[in-house]
Amino acid sequence: MPQLVFDLGGTFLRCGVAHDDGTVRPVVRTRIRNFLDGSPAAEVWRSIFSELALFAKSVDDLLSPNDGVVLAFPGPIRDGRRIVGAPTVVGDADIPDVAETLERLLRRPVRLINDVSAAAWHLAKSTPVDRFMVVTVSSGIGNKVFDRRHPLRVLDDASYGGEIGHCIVDRSIDAPRCDCGERGHLGAIASGRGTLRLARARAVAHDDSFSRSLCVRQFGASALTLTNEDHLVPAIRMDDAWAISCMRDAMTPLADVIGSVTFACGIGKVCVIGGFPIGIGPQYIRCLNDLLKPPGRMPSIGLPDGDFAELADMHPEACLLGAAEFGRRLAFAHA
């Protein structure tokens, strides 16, 4: 049966209708407000609900009254109903009952799923190992473990499962502050935002080496105007030594955490997703694999040969497709 599927990120909202043939159409992408642009949390949520309701009304003729809704969300989810935290959307502000609000607005059954869980459902179709980990690096960092031999498939029944972005990896008094408000979290250091934060600090502190980088010489950055999109990412793609050193140092605690999870859970493959690594491309995954290889973050005991992490070949609407697969397999399987 068709489903309404939504993918709410920290920057964009994607909306679609999932059909029984495995496609999602139509798909609409809209930039949303978030707390970083100064929008109050209440206004952010009002805007999001308005966009969701507007899309649902536009595709009402494609759905029957009992077809469900799955919303993929960038934060921990409890029992498929409650959002536990939304740091990349509204920081540490209060969160409304999103599932209940949507059911009232759309008059359809609603299930929530973490966006990385949705991506894992999608990647399971193309990842041959039985147990793999998806790691997303974007405005924040998260992960999920998929085990096709487990009845839940994605091990996300504990809402904190996969929230590696909030592992404390820097206990210094001036550690970077995470979007959740705490200091020293992995997401504050190794995410796209964290990497940019480190690069800007180095640009100010070591102006000579920064001034020799492609960020400045080719892309026209200054310490005050440096961005990922316009300067740091294109410089990394062109193998600029200064930009790559910023990425590598920001990424090092991520490699530490991946190594720990791999040996704790018996992971067979790490699939890396997210706008930051996908935008960089091979340079990102090459650097991560170099950090993971023995005798680096992981000992050689029983590890498979070759690169352990791979940049996942993600469909642009992977989270929508994964949310639809979750809906078919678990959320509305008995509806």
Cα separation, 175 vs 177, whole angstroms: 6
Cα separation, 286 vs 111, whole angstroms: 37
Q: Quick check: 12 pLDDT over 70?
A: yes
Q: Quick check: 331 pLDDT over 80?
A: no
Q: Quick check: 245 pLDDT over 90?
A: yes
Q: Quick one: pLDDT band at residue 299, thresholds 50, 70, 90?
A: low
Q: Quick check: 334 pLDDT over 60?
A: no
User: Is the model more confident about 315 or about 138?
Assistant: 138
Tokens linked to 319: 């989270």
Average pLDDT of the segment spanning 150-160: 92
Q: Quick one: pLDDT band at residue 329, thresholds 50, 70, 90?
A: confident
For the chain, the average pLDDT equals 92
Identify the weakest region by mean pLDDT among 50-54, 105-109, 297-301.
297-301
Q: Quick one: pLDDT band at residue 306, thresholds 50, 70, 90?
A: confident
pLDDT in tens, 95-140: 999 999 999 999 999 999 999 999 999 999 999 999 999 999 988 8
Q: Quick check: 303 pLDDT over 80?
A: no
Q: Quick one: pLDDT band at residue 314, thresholds 50, 70, 90?
A: confident
Q: Quick check: 153 pLDDT over 60?
A: yes
In the sheet with 270-273, reading across from the earlier edge strand, the strands are 141-147, 131-137, 270-273, 309-311
**Which of 54, 62, 38 minimizes the C-alpha distance to 6?**
54
DSSP code, position 164: G
Sorted by sequence, the CB contacts under 8 Å of residue 11 that are 6+ apart come out as: 31, 32, 34, 139
Q: Quick one: pLDDT band at residue 295, thresholds 50, 70, 90?
A: low
Domains of the chain and any CATH numbers: 3-120+316-331 (3.30.420.40), 128-311 (3.30.420.40)
Cα separation, 163 vs 178, whole angstroms: 13
Helix (H) or strand (E) holding 308: none
Average pLDDT of the segment spanning 158-166: 91
Tell me what pLDDT residue 107 has: 96
Q: Quick check: 335 pLDDT over 60?
A: no
